[in-house]
């Protein structure tokens, strides 16, 4: 590794606070693409340039430029939107995207297939519905996650407000977004980025809040995590976590998935100061030479956790109290109708890989449009790519239940493993994909389900996650079975997550094709079926039975607290 700054640092520095030449790039309608620097800067505005990889070689043969389009990711803290907003999102997808909405593993949504001339109208349209895409991507804080426990509505509301406050607090202050996309007037006297500075962060930064015992957001996989501590039904503060992350590079041991460390407990009044401190320490100490090593997890590894804690305390002018004991029990969603303490009803729907579109067999986009029209309330996107119809009044529950049944949205009869699992986007839009994920996973799951039936383990909900590459967008390194794309039809197999997101999975086999994978799972499921303890999870079994070794991690202590 040389000491030369990564070229992205200069792009940021010379961009006049993220403006670059985005206006000119958009105005140039001769090409479907942006200038090279703008392809980096556009991420801070929430979108990526992509090309349809299914069409690449055909277009190359025809001497055409790749079929360029854009993916835009919104900022939606805690995944909450009104049904009015949903109807706007729906119409934008149909009119300016490729007719699909993709719910993501960070509780927001993406549009794919946006052509260049539609970018500005699209951004304007979502902003008219009070949704923006600032920091959807880029080297800043990303969408702030907050768990969507329908059972705990009063607490959820309070904690969700913190997710919103953190999201607002960590937003870049540049007016570039408003000027370029919303025709906002420049503010006289220039501007500054008091927290981020001219070169923003060395890399993306992710924050999540969680209310135990449900760890649907996989809080330990975030750069910064807040674990709500509740006493007598009141929020009294948060355990703060820092330094989690999933992304790795195959066969490069200097990169690794990591679970966050405990920094200690704080009262709510210190949340924003601690968030600022963690962000600015990462800003000043993160690696700006190698983007592969630029996440906070590597900064903490090189500073040492104790030094990092001291630095946060000094910067935020606080003293961490001892981490409070908590217990997590699951990382998946809880499906079906649940009534809140305030008597409102919530229905969690399984959305296969978060993809919402109309196909010849399933008019999911239309069905959710019908639900949104019938429900004057909220939708909540979960961090497992699912959708909650939230806050249905008691006297409306019956008619909503009839509607979702009529529309076939209940997905009854799906296996426990299927509804606990997820896959990343991968092909054809993701430029990083080495193997299929979203398009392949449903078929693979059928084969896995046959095995679970053969071995009588259908009562076990096994968290299985597939990604097309080791960036880990569906958090496979905390799954009980993680498949990580290596090449076309080939995956590395990870085992040993604990079903609550508190233990890293371990590499078990490399370069598995489907045939080998099914053979290996057949044997493992056979052993699990014969030797499991009552209620023992598959991931726990693979550790106890010596299939893989438990990966020591800082979050382990949490799990043992009863």
Candidate list 12, 43, 142, 503, residue with the active-site label: 142
Instruction: Tell me which residue has tokens 């951004």.
Output: 123
Taking CA atoms, 160 is separated from 175, 270, 335, 547, in Å, by 26, 16, 20, 40
Sign of CA dihedral 449, 455, 458, 463: negative
User: Least distance to ligand SRM from the beta carbon of 467, Å?
Assistant: 8
CA 92/CA 264 separation, integer angstroms: 43
The site string for ligand SRM over 372-401 (x = CB under 6 A, - otherwise) reads -------------x----------------
Beta strand 464-467 pairing with 506-512: unpaired
User: Least distance to ligand SF4 from the beta carbon of 433, Å?
Assistant: 4
Span near ligand SRM by CB under 6 A; candidates 90-98, 317-325, 469-477, 532-540: 469-477
382 contacts: CB under 8 Å, gap ≥ 6: 79, 103, 107, 148, 216, 333, 348, 388
User: Least distance to ligand SF4 from the beta carbon of 465, Å?
Assistant: 10
Q: Under the criterion CB under 6 A, does residue 455 sit at the interface with ligand SRM?
A: no
Residue 239, binding choice from ligand SF4, ligand SRM, none, Cβ under 5 to 8 Å by partner class: none
Residue 469, binding choice from ligand SF4, ligand SRM, none, Cβ under 5 to 8 Å by partner class: ligand SF4
The site string for ligand SRM over 490-529 (x = CB under 6 A, - otherwise) reads ----------------------------------------
Residue 270, binding choice from ligand SRM, ligand SF4, none, Cβ under 5 to 8 Å by partner class: none
Q: Is 206 a catalytic residue?
A: yes
User: Least distance to ligand SRM from the beta carbon of 336, Å?
Assistant: 23
When computed from its CA atoms, the radius of gyration of the chain, rounded to whole angstroms, is 23
Q: Is 469 a catalytic residue?
A: yes
Q: Is 137 a catalytic residue?
A: no
Q: Under the criterion CB under 6 A, does residue 473 sit at the interface with ligand SRM?
A: yes
User: Least distance to ligand SRM from the beta carbon of 62, Å?
Assistant: 23
Residue 153, binding choice from ligand SF4, ligand SRM, none, Cβ under 5 to 8 Å by partner class: none
Rank residues 430 and 444 by Cβ distance to ligand SF4 and give the closer one: 430
Q: Is 544 a catalytic residue?
A: no
DSSP 105: T
Span near ligand SRM by CB under 6 A; candidates 101-109, 123-131, 440-448, 516-524: 101-109
What is the binding site for ligand SF4 (CB under 6 A)? Answer: 424-426, 430, 432-433, 437, 467-469, 471-473
**Residues of this chain, 185-244, that bind ligand SRM according to CB under 6 A:** 204, 206, 221
Question: 3-state SS string over 410-468?
Answer: CCCCCCHHHHCCEECCCCCCCCCCCCCCCCCHHHHHHHHHHHHHHCCCCCCCCCEEEEC
Counted residue by residue, the chain has a size of 562
Q: Are 378 and 347 contacting, i.e. CB atoms less than 8 angstroms apart?
A: no
User: Least distance to ligand SF4 from the beta carbon of 246, Å?
Assistant: 9
- For 146, the 3-state DSSP assignment is strand
How many of the chain's residues bind ligand SRM (CB under 6 A)?
31
Sign of CA dihedral 83, 88, 94, 96: negative
DSSP 185: P
306 contacts: CB under 8 Å, gap ≥ 6: none
Q: Is 473 a catalytic residue?
A: yes
Instruction: Tell me which residue has tokens 């995956």.
Output: 491
Residues that bind ligand SRM (CB under 6 A): 48, 50, 71, 73, 104-106, 108, 110, 142-143, 204, 206, 221, 245-247, 295, 354, 385, 424-425, 429-432, 471-475
């Amino acid at each position: 590794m040389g000491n030369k700054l990564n070229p992205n640092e200069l792009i940021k520095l010379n961009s006049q606070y993220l403006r670059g030449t985005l206006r000119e790039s958009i105005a140039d309608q001769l090409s479907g693409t942006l200038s090279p620097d703008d392809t980096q800067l556009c991420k801070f505005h929430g979108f990526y340039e992509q090309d349809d990889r299914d069409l690449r070689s055909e277009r190359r043969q025809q001497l055409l430029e790749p079929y360029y389009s854009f993916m835009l990711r919104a900022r939606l803290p805690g995944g909450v939107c009104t049904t009015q907003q949903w109807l706007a999102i729906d119409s934008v997808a149909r009119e300016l995207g490729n007719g699909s909405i993709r719910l993501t593993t960070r509780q927001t949504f993406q549009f794919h297939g946006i052509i260049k001339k539609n970018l500005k109208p699209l951004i304007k349209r979502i902003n008219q519905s009070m949704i923006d895409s600032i920091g959807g991507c880029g080297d800043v804080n990303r969408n702030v996650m907050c768990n969507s426990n329908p059972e705990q509505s009063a607490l959820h509301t309070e904690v969700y407000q913190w997710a919103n406050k953190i999201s607002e607090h960590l937003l870049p202050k540049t007016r570039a977004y408003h000027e370029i996309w919303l025709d906002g007037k420049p503010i006289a006297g220039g501007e500054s980025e008091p927290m981020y500075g001219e070169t923003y962060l060395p890399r993306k930064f992710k924050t999540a809040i969680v209310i135990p015992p449900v760890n649907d957001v996989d809080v330990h996989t975030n750069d910064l995590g807040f674990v709500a501590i509740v006493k007598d039904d009141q929020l009294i503060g948060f355990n703060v976590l820092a330094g989690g992350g999933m992304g790795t590079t195959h066969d490069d041991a200097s990169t690794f998935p990591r679970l966050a460390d405990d920094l200690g407990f704080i009262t709510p009044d210190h949340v924003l100061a601690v968030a600022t401190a963690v962000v600015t320490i990462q800003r000043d100490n993160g690696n700006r030479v190698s983007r592969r090593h630029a996440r906070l997890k590597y900064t903490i590894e090189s500073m040492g956790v104790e030094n990092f804690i001291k630095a946060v305390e000094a910067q935020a002018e606080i003293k961490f109290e001892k981490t409070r004991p908590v217990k997590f029990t699951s990382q998946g969603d809880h499906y079906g109708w649940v009534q809140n303490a305030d008597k409102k009803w919530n229905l969690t729907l399984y959305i296969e890989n978060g993809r919402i579109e109309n196909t010849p067999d399933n008019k999911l986009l239309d069905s959710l449009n019908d639900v949104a029209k019938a429900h004057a309330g909220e939708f909540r996107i979960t961090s497992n790519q699912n959708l909650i119809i939230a806050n249905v009044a008691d006297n409306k529950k019956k008619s909503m239940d009839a509607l979702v049944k009529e529309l076939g949205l209940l997905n009854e009869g799906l296996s426990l493993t299927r509804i606990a699992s997820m896959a990343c986007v991968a092909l054809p839009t993701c430029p990083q994909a080495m193997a299929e994920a979203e398009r392949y996973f449903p078929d693979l799951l059928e084969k896995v389900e046959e095995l679970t039936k053969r071995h009588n383990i259908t009562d076990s909900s096994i968290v299985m996650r597939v990604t097309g590459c080791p960036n880990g967008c569906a958090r496979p390194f905390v799954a009980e079975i993680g498949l990580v794309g290596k090449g076309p039809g080939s995956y590395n197999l990870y085992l040993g997550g604990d079903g609550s997101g508190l233990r890293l999975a371990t590499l078990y086999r490399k370069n598995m094709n489907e045939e080998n994978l099914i053979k290996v799972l057949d044997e493992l499921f056979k052993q699990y079926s014969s030797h499991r303890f009552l209620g023992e999870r598959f991931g726990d079994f693979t550790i106890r039975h010596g299939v893989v070794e438990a990966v020591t991690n800082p979050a382990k202590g949490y799990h043992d607290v009863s």
